[in-house]
């Protein structure tokens, strides 16, 4: 837009000069009047706001000129009326169900309904559309051609639907987290960790760069990393910023906290990097922070960098790190940090070769000793029993514990049956996965999604593969499709005082806020996904209704010390505690 204004002023100068030459009169510079400048300034502000909102809310799924998770958006403003686009952005499902042919065809192709952005004001949506229109015209982008047709079933099911159940929970408002921005979402709460002492206090991170301490239902800031990290960013997209954090099991003695975050790429050398011909969208960094006084309720201390990873896109980063809870000193896993990193958007960026191989940290869960030093950079240790540690190939990343993930969004362990690792993996178009992770396992992405084959050249469609091909990759323990949800939010195997929830892996869908569970036994013999409902005042309700938004942004958290189960929703910044669980007979 600044370029456009510059051209406008240059054109006025040229016209005034030519006019003076042709008339034989002294040249007089034509200056835009105040009203013209005011209009130009207003337009510039609209476009800047639109770009910022697009960057925050849209780029995780959409590009201007290339397909992403959703269709490309360049040219759409030249094809569809403004009010129609506003209505769609606020309630996509309503437009699709209303019989709009283009919307229904796109729904069938991309196999999901775009989340509602009903929290955006009309003026904000108009600014996004102005930005799209400006980019379209400046770059001469043609609109996406869609074969507009409607079939009775817009999406074919490739797996069993989520099963209804009689399991019900009741919740209470625990706390509301302070707004970290004036724009929506007001918070970006993502992770909860209990204090290592087990005193009942918990810590909650906001992706914008803040960790809060919650004690006796009082919320206070514990740590603000924003001013302490050069080039820290929490945009573009919805998965950037402060990704995750974890207290070292010996925190009460050593004061160590581990944090993942994103930085703008300014040329810093990464520990995982790729050819210069491929852009670096940002860098994910894992750091160790040492607090001066472990009794302090506000962080003051020092930082040490452990690992830096280049990624080619703004999605699927290092969004969860964890130590196995409850281990005793002397256990071989005690003090080992598990780090989940997605494919960095490499597949949708047309660089599928950057993941699903043992030379890359993209699409992996790694296992390190943060207090060791035998890694390539000397900043951490690699356990001797990691699965690829004896590989003769010097380029194999021996940190890798398992690989072939698109976005291992959450990690948790089932303590009752030998600390089995579960990871939720956010899917592309067809499946959302729960994986039972084994050491050295290959989970297939980007050659498989669910238990089907997929081609990086066509990420919208899957195809059956032979049993021998399936045998070469670990198929998901459980999965659901995009009729039942949009993106999985991982959870925990519950063991506590709410008897009806025991031996259940509890999780949900980030966008729709639906709550699910799987019955867990020693043999992992039942992978059926069931839905559980929330009850208030004797009536079924939903997180959509409770949060007042069709985009819930769900997170499920668990305190293994107190056995409290929490539900966090970014859309309203609320943390709710589950107080009761029971089973009702279905009619």
106 with 170, same domain: the answer is no
Res. 282: pLDDT tops 90: yes
By the 8 A CB rule, do 488 and 477 touch? no
What pLDDT digit, counting tens, does each position of 495-521 carry? Answer: 999 999 999 999 999 999 999 999 999
Q: Which pairing describes strands 256-263 and 232-233: parallel, antiparallel, or unpaired?
A: antiparallel
pLDDT confidence of residue 314: 92
Between 130 and 477, where is the model more confident?
A: 477
Q: What is the mean pLDDT of residues 473-481?
A: 95
What pLDDT digit, counting tens, does each position of 420-459 carry? Answer: 999 999 999 899 999 999 999 999 999 999 999 999 999 9
401 with 436, same domain: the answer is yes
On whether residue 21 sits in a domain, the answer given is no
On whether residue 144 sits in a domain, the answer given is no
How far apart CA 83 and CA 126 sit, in angstroms, is 9
DSSP H helical segments within 333-408, as ranges?
Answer: none
pLDDT confidence of residue 532: 96
How far apart CA 37 and CA 35 sit, in angstroms, is 5
Q: Which pair of structure tokens corresponds to residue 164?
A: 């209804």
Residue at a domain's end among 107, 139, 171: 139
By CB atoms closer than 10 A (0-12, 13-18, 19+), residue 80 is: middle
How many C-beta atoms surround the C-beta of residue 33 within 10 A? 8
227 with 308, same domain: the answer is yes
171 with 240, same domain: the answer is yes
pLDDT confidence of residue 24: 42
How far apart CA 503 and CA 492 sit, in angstroms, is 10
pLDDT confidence of residue 441: 97
pLDDT confidence of residue 54: 87
Task: Map residue 577 onto helix, strand or coil.
Answer: strand
> What band does 25 get if pLDDT is binned at 50, 70 and 90?
very low
Q: What is the mean pLDDT of residues 360-371?
A: 98
By the 8 A CB rule, do 484 and 509 touch? yes
Can you give 447-501 as a three-state secondary structure string? CEECCEEEECCEEEEEECCCHHHHHCCCCCCEEEECCCCCCEEEEEEECCCCHHH
Domain range for 224: 163-492+504-583
How far apart CA 163 and CA 165 sit, in angstroms, is 6
**Beta-carbon contacts of residue 136 (< 8 Å; ≥ 6 apart):** 64, 74, 75, 76, 77, 78
What pLDDT digit, counting tens, does each position of 491-502 carry? Answer: 999 999 999 999
CA trace torsion 258, 264, 267, 268 (10° rounding): -10
Q: What is the CATH number of the domain that holds 477?
A: 2.120.10.30
pLDDT confidence of residue 516: 98
Q: What is the mean pLDDT of residues 349-369?
A: 97
450 with 551, same domain: the answer is yes
pLDDT confidence of residue 344: 96
DSSP H helical segments within 186-256, as ranges?
Answer: 251-254
On whether residue 1 sits in a domain, the answer given is no
Between 9 and 116, where is the model more confident?
A: 116
The sign of the torsion formed by the CA atoms of 179, 183, 184, 189 equals negative
Between 102 and 533, where is the model more confident?
A: 533
pLDDT confidence of residue 14: 34
Q: What is the mean pLDDT of residues 209-238?
A: 95
pTM of the predicted structure, to 2 decimals: 0.89
pLDDT confidence of residue 31: 58
How far apart CA 442 and CA 425 sit, in angstroms, is 13
Average pLDDT, the chain: 90
Res. 227: pLDDT tops 60: yes
352 with 484, same domain: the answer is yes
> What band does 319 get if pLDDT is binned at 50, 70 and 90?
very high
Share of the chain above pLDDT 90, in %: 68
On whether residue 232 sits in a domain, the answer given is yes
Q: What is the CATH number of the domain that holds 62?
A: 1.10.760.10
What pLDDT digit, counting tens, does each position of 29-80 carry? Answer: 455 676 777 888 888 888 888 888 887 788 878 888 877 778 889 888 988 8
pLDDT confidence of residue 27: 42
108 with 178, same domain: the answer is no
By the 8 A CB rule, do 251 and 266 touch? no
On whether residue 440 sits in a domain, the answer given is yes
How far apart CA 298 and CA 317 sit, in angstroms, is 28
Domain total of the chain? 2
By the 8 A CB rule, do 113 and 73 touch? no
Least confident of 132-141, 290-299, 403-412: 132-141
330 with 454, same domain: the answer is yes
Q: What is the mean pLDDT of residues 9-36?
A: 46
> What band does 108 get if pLDDT is binned at 50, 70 and 90?
confident
How many C-beta atoms surround the C-beta of residue 552 within 10 A? 29
220 with 126, same domain: the answer is no
Between 290 and 89, where is the model more confident?
A: 290
On whether residue 157 sits in a domain, the answer given is no
User: Which residue, among 141, 147, 154, has the nearest Cα to 110 in the 3D structure?
Assistant: 154
89 with 225, same domain: the answer is no
104 with 171, same domain: the answer is no
Burial 86-96 (b: 16+ CB within 10 A, else e): bbbbbbbeebb
How far apart CA 32 and CA 359 sit, in angstroms, is 58
pLDDT confidence of residue 57: 82
How far apart CA 389 and CA 375 sit, in angstroms, is 11
In Å, how far are 72, 411, 435, 544 from 423, measured between CA atoms? 30, 5, 5, 25
Helix (H) or strand (E) holding 539: strand 539-541
Res. 9: pLDDT tops 60: no
Between 535 and 22, where is the model more confident?
A: 535
Least confident of 4-18, 331-345, 526-540: 4-18
Share of the chain above pLDDT 70, in %: 93
Between 279 and 75, where is the model more confident?
A: 279
176 with 43, same domain: the answer is no
């Amino acid at each position: 837009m600044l370029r456009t204004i510059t051209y406008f002023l240059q054109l006025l100068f040229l016209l005034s000069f030519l006019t003076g030459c042709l008339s034989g009169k002294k040249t007089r510079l034509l200056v835009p009047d105040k009203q013209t400048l005011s209009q130009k300034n207003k337009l510039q502000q609209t476009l800047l706001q639109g770009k910022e909102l697009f960057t925050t809310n849209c780029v995780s799924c959409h590009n201007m000129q290339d397909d992403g998770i959703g269709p490309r958006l360049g040219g759409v403003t030249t094809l569809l009326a403004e009010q129609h686009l506003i209505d769609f952005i606020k309630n996509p499902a309503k437009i699709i169900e209303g019989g709009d042919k283009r919307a229904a065809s796109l729904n069938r192709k991309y196999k999901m309904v775009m989340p509602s952005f009903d929290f955006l004001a009309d003026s904000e949506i108009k600014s996004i559309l102005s930005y799209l229109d400006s980019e379209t015209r400046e770059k001469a982008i043609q609109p996406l051609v869609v074969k507009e047709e409607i079939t009775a079933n817009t999406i074919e099911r490739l797996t069993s639907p989520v099963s209804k159940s009689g399991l019900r929970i009741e919740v209470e408002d625990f706390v509301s987290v302070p707004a970290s921005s004036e724009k929506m979402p007001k918070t970006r709460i993502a992770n909860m960790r209990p204090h290592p002492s087990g005193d009942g206090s918990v810590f909650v991170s906001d992706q914008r760069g803040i960790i809060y301490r919650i004690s006796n239902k009082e919320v206070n800031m514990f740590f603000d990393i924003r001013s302490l990290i050069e080039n820290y960013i929490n945009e573009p997209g919805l998965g950037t910023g402060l990704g995750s954090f974890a207290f070292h099991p010996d925190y009460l003695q050593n004061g160590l906290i581990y944090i993942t975050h994103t930085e703008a790429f300014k040329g810093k050398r990464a520990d995982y990097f790729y050819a210069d011909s491929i852009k670096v969208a940002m860098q994910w960094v894992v750091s160790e922070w040492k607090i001066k006084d472990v009794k302090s309720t506000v962080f003051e201390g020092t930082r040490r960098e452990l690992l830096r990873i280049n990624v080619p896109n703004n999605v699927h980063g290092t969004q969860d790190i964890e130590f196995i809870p409850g281990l005793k000193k002397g256990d071989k896993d005690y003090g080992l940090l598990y780090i989940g990193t997605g494919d960095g958007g490499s597949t949708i960026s047309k660089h599928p070769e950057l993941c699903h191989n043992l030379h890359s940290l993209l699409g992996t869960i790694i296992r390190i000793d943060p207090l060791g030093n035998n890694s390539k950079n000397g900043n951490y240790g690699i356990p001797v029993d990691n699965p690829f540690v004896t590989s003769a190939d010097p380029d194999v990343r021996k940190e890798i514990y398992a690989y072939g993930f698109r976005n291992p969004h959450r990690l948790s362990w089932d303590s009752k049956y030998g600390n089995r690792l579960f990871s939720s993996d956010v899917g592309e178009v067809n499946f959302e996965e729960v994986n039972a992770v084994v050491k050295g396992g290959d989970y297939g992405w980007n050659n498989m999604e669910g238990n089907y084959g997929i081609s990086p050249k066509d990420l919208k469609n899957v195809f059956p593969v032979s049993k021998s091909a399936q045998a070469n990759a670990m198929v998901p323990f459980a999965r659901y499709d995009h009729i039942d949800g949009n993106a999985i939010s991982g959870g925990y195997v519950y063991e506590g005082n709410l008897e009806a929830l025991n031996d259940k892996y509890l999780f949900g869908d980030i966008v729709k806020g639906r709550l699910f569970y799987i019955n867990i036994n020693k043999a992992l013999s039942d992978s059926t996904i069931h839905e559980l409902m929330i009850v208030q005042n004797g009536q079924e309700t939903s997180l959509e209704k409770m949060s007042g938004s069709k985009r819930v942004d769900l997170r499920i958290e668990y305190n293994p010390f107190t056995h409290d189960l929490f539900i966090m929703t970014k859309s309203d910044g609320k943390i709710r505690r589950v107080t009761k669980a029971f089973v009702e007979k279905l009619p």
